[in-house]
Amino acid sequence: MPIQTSNACGVNSHMWISDTAMCRLSDQSQIRQWLNTQKLVDLVRLGSFFPDSGYVANHAYGELTHWSPFINTYIESLKNKYQGVFDGTSAKEDIAFLFGVAAHGFEDELFDTIFLRRSLEIENTDQDLADPGVDYLLTSQGKTHIKPAFYFPMESVIEAIRATNTEVEQSNISLGMNRAYLATALVTAPMAAANLAQPYYDSMPWVASHFDDFAIPGSLNQEPYFVGQLFESIWLQLKGEWKAEQGFIGSVPAEGQLLESAGLIADRTVSFIFSLGMYEPTIREHLKIEDEMGQEIEYELAFNRWSNGNDYSRVIQVLITTPLIAGRGYQFKFLPGIRWVNGSVLDVEKNFFFYARCEMGATEERCMPRVIEEGVKGGAQRGCLVTMEEEMVQIAQMDMGVDQALLDVALVQDQLVQDASVIEKDMHLMDISVRVEDLGMTEKHQGCMQKNHGGTLGMMVVLFLIYVLNMFVLRQCNRMVDIDKI
């Protein structure tokens, strides 16, 4: 049985987006001040692929945890647990993991709704091709080197899932997270990633050239700005300081940039992005567009890619159907009465103002597009916010029986054997560090060396190392004791 691939823009892509979002938090951000240990950074990273682990475990928590209603339940669960006191270690760990989980589905909504609608229009590339392809391209080009410590607050996320009347056991999550984590290791093995990525340069050339282009709406490199705003919004919600008008976190194009009146439908569309789900029927009733002369403008409205029109969207798209007049200003008015997933109702008018692109050669100030700085990128193993030195927490062995541990090693072996083209050409086995908690003591074990091997010799070496890994895991599992957090 091969490891299943999960939906969305790929687990490594999710970790990279969330990591870059942390790097781009403002210097004044309160979150930035306490998200300063490797352990907390890694918890955000792990949370960023948690929802897809439910798919590979074939469990309902996978779909559930992608969406805004669950994130709202998760926030309320932690508010009740900590009663406004979030300065302890346990609270910070829970919040960091929540950030990652919330980021995942949000990132999917941005990528699927904004980027993929554009790629469909340009080269007919959709999710089934772009999701794995982007992950392989990102890793094969050396843009991410993230291997987070495998440690996360199991109890809190189970409580949040069960609060939605969804049955889940620790064994379900252990299985999903093991498989998803091992899948990330397979993809990030350098030569394996290169071989996996190669076909996508031909099958989706535009996506391959622009998936991390900061200038392209919804790209991996543009998403982190909005994800950082999502983190800030969640922090305010946890503290009870969030206000309904703070659900708006931006637009594409950004306010002050220019509206297009020609070209792709994607270029003529304005996307609005929210930090929590906005109830779709209330948007239809409370969105109005006027030009600067006060004339009402007609438009078409679309919600997130997977919406049924009666749900909660964190992304909506507006296409003006009235011809735009070059250089004229247009105001998008979100009127009081719009309802958020947490039950709050917008009680003030929220406006966004744009100018239509001017005629060629125009020099008026309104015709000059606003320039937005790209910002730093994440992807390094050491988190860019890490300022506190600490003993590095290595990959934690999951709290599971020997049979489950061997099952997951067998899954890796099965995947490697099936992908003969990768093995025969080259195989890089990643360094594996295992943390074993034994009577409260932590031991570190540095595993397989990273080397290149080719042809039949490479196959023999790979199978030998897998045999060694089997024996290693068996020995470690026999030494395991129960742990409260994994």
Domains identified in the chain and CATH numbers:
243-367 (2.60.40.1220), 394-486 (no CATH)
Q: What is the pLDDT of residue 313?
A: 96
Q: Give residue 264's region: left, alpha or beta (phi > 0; psi -120 to 50).
A: beta
CA–CA gap between residue 192 and residue 416 (Å, rounded): 10
- Taking the model in full, what pTM does it have? 0.81
Q: What is the pLDDT of residue 422?
A: 35
Q: What is the pLDDT of residue 365?
A: 81
Q: What is the pLDDT of residue 80?
A: 96
> Cα-Cα-Cα-Cα dihedral of 246, 304, 375, 196, to 10°?
150
CB 298 within 8 A of CB 319: no
- Over the range 103-127, which residues count as b (16 or more CB within 10 Å of their CB) and which as e? bbbbbbbbbbbbbbbbbeeeeebbb
The 10 Å Cβ neighbour count of residue 244 is 18
CB 304 within 8 A of CB 279: no
Cis upstream peptide for 253 (omega within 30°): yes
Q: DSSP string covering 336-357, please?
A: TT-BBTTS-B--S-EEEEEEEP
H/E stretch holding 129: helix 127-140
Q: What is the pLDDT of residue 389?
A: 66
Would you call 433 helix, strand, or coil by DSSP? strand
Q: What is the pLDDT of residue 261?
A: 85
Q: What is the pLDDT of residue 229?
A: 97
Helices (H) and strands (E) in the chain, counts: 18, 10
Q: Give residue 93's region: left, alpha or beta (phi > 0; psi -120 to 50).
A: alpha
Q: How far is CA 245 from the centre of its chain?
A: 24
Residue 342's contacts (CB-CB under 8 Å, 6 or more residues apart) are 72, 75, 237, 276
CB 327 within 8 A of CB 355: yes
CA–CA gap between residue 278 and residue 273 (Å, rounded): 10
pLDDT block averages, 10 residues each, the chain of length 486:
41 95 95 94 96 94 97 98 94 97 97 96 93 92 90 94 97 93 78 87 96 95 97 97 96 90 92 96 94 95 90 96 93 97 97 92 81 86 82 40 38 41 31 27 27 32 40 38 35
What interhelical angle do 190-203 and 170-188 show, nearest 10?
80
Q: DSSP string covering 404-417, please?
A: HHHHHHHHHHHHHH
Q: In 3D, which of 53, 75, 77 has the Cα closest to residue 63?
A: 53
Q: Give long-range contacts, CB 8 A cutoff, 24+ apart: 462-469.
A: 462/416, 462/423, 462/427, 462/429, 463/413, 463/417, 465/429, 466/409, 466/412, 466/413, 466/416, 469/409, 469/412, 469/432
